[in-house]
Chains A and B, each alone.
Chain A
Amino acid sequence: MRECRVGEFFTGPTDGPRQVIILEDMWASLDGHSVLEGITFSLAEGTFLGIIGPNGAGKTTLIRVILGLVKPDRGVVRVMGLSPEELKHELHHIGYMPQQVLFDPLFPVSVYDVVMMGRTCCIGTFRFPRRADRDAVMRSIDAVGLTGLEKRPIGELSGGQQKRAFLARALCLETRILLLDEPTSGLDYEAQENFMGLLARLKAEQGLSVTFVSHDVNVLARFADEIVCINRTMHLHGKPLDVLGSERLKDVYRCEFDFLAGVGTHMDSKE
């Protein structure tokens, strides 16, 4: 098993919390169309950052820029102090959960197999999983509360259980940063609450830094330490209460938020 060496990556001043993600004036485009313009924010270690924005705001592209899958046109991107090029060799510190895993429900893999996929880059090419890999997989399955279901075909699980299996897959590396792209989409209220509770607990226990993309303001208002609001450009960055209380949020979303006791409630949208 590879050693976790996150601490070695950071350079510069050591006072105060370390910034695990830094974006400075980052511009990115897809197929020649500008998608993100002048994005600047940073994520301190151990922080839960919520990224909100309407559909098509560039949230997923932002995640892909952080992962190094989309090359920014200009600006600075640093993850754990590394450039996107350097990050390619350290991706086992990043747990990623895509928006919707569009898998075939009849795909013949068990929960255990799916979580083991997360360790593929740790195991290495031409190698079989070793004891450390198997242990890490079982620990992750246990952490998300799926013990006893590891041999079940993934397609037989409920939507909430599948999401937890994918979270376990994102956690079974030496994960320091979680990048979650609308992980609770498609879940009912109860499953969503369970998932968010689990995530908050894991973040506290393992000291994870979390970047959570969502357009559900309710969820982020309760769980995020900080919120960034984007719609192609960056509109707001701050504590949930400040961001969600801001008049400008209306402009970004083109809809009203009923702001009461720190919880934004989605009112009827005005197109």
Chain B
Amino acid sequence: MLAYGFAQRALVGGVLVAMVCSLISFFVVVRRLAFVGMGISHAAFGGVAIGLAAGIDPVVSAGGFCAAVALGIGWFSRRGRIHEDTVIGILFATAMALGVVLVRLAGAYNLDLMSYLFGSILALSWSDVAVIAVLSALSAAFILLFFKELLFISFDEETATASGLPVRFVYYGLLVTMALTIVISIKLVGIILVSALLVVPGAAGTQLSRNYRGVLVIALLVGVASVVLGLYLSFLWDVASGAAIVLVLFAFFLVSMALSPRRAYMQRLRRRAR
């Protein structure tokens, strides 16, 4: 299948996206940002619609719009007057409604929109891959450069603040990084399914390891393997690639749960082996 150019592009783009998503999924799981991810990704629909209506590249408009929504979620929830999940519930429905209205007004209700909802990785061009590569590099750089700060803040924000860390900058940085990652993931699995990529690798990792180093390695393996296997299966059975990737992710999660050292029968097995 790699003889085809579209398959090569899909594989390169998919693996890049999987790697960044897996890195971020660690913080999504330990900081419990799964619903934030859902909110930002659904808001991307509004961003895409703005792009389609205004005639600019939907990736650019969605990137800007998602970053704005992410910052909005962060700002409202940090002020502490409204709960984070309430803010997300309000913002993501509003952004999607805005998307529906704009698409109708612009007369752009077409197949293009469906590809944003469910992904269109097989339609990637090399310039799309380049955009993915640049944004992936930016997101990964943020996570890696601020890793110890992110870890400290996720574990114990109060002490992190007291020791003089730039807590607000790092928190908003993580949200914007999530927004950018979501925008590039939309090409891969689509708005509806992107939260799986942001949650499952980290969730599988925390099932199998009790230290963040192990969690990160497992998350990366699960993320990349799911994308590669999902793409292969979608090619083999001629099914939607985004859906295939998500189903493979879920299969990996089930396996990680079954093999988790936290399970009682795994503890019995280990004891017997000793």
Contacts and interface: CB of A to CB of B under 8 A. Distances in A.
| Interface size class, chain A | 20 to 34
A123 interface: yes
B265 interface: no
B164 A107 contact: no
Contacts of B214: 108
| Interface size class, chain B | 20 to 34
Contact of B148 (A97, A123, A166, A169): A123
B146 A91 contact: no
B212 interface: yes
A125 interface: yes
Where chain B touches its partner, the secondary structure class is: helix
Nearest to A155: B210
A4 interface: no
B159 A169 contact: yes
Contacts of B155: 103, 107, 109, 114, 117
Interface string A40-78: 000000000000000000000000100101000000000
B152 A110 contact: no
B110 interface: no
A110 B214 CA distance: 12
Given A98-B156, A125-B145, A153-B210, A109 B164 contact: no
A120 B163 contact: yes
Contacts of A125: 145-146, 149
Contacts of A106: 206
B211 A110 contact: yes
B86 interface: no
Interface of B: 30, 145-146, 148-149, 151-152, 154-156, 158-165, 205-206, 209-212, 214-215
Interface of A: 64, 67, 69, 88-89, 91-92, 94, 96-98, 101, 103-104, 106-110, 113-114, 116-118, 120-121, 123, 125-126, 153, 166, 169
Q: 5 smallest A-B Cβ distances: which pairs?
A: A91-B164, A96-B162, A117-B152, A153-B210, A98-B158
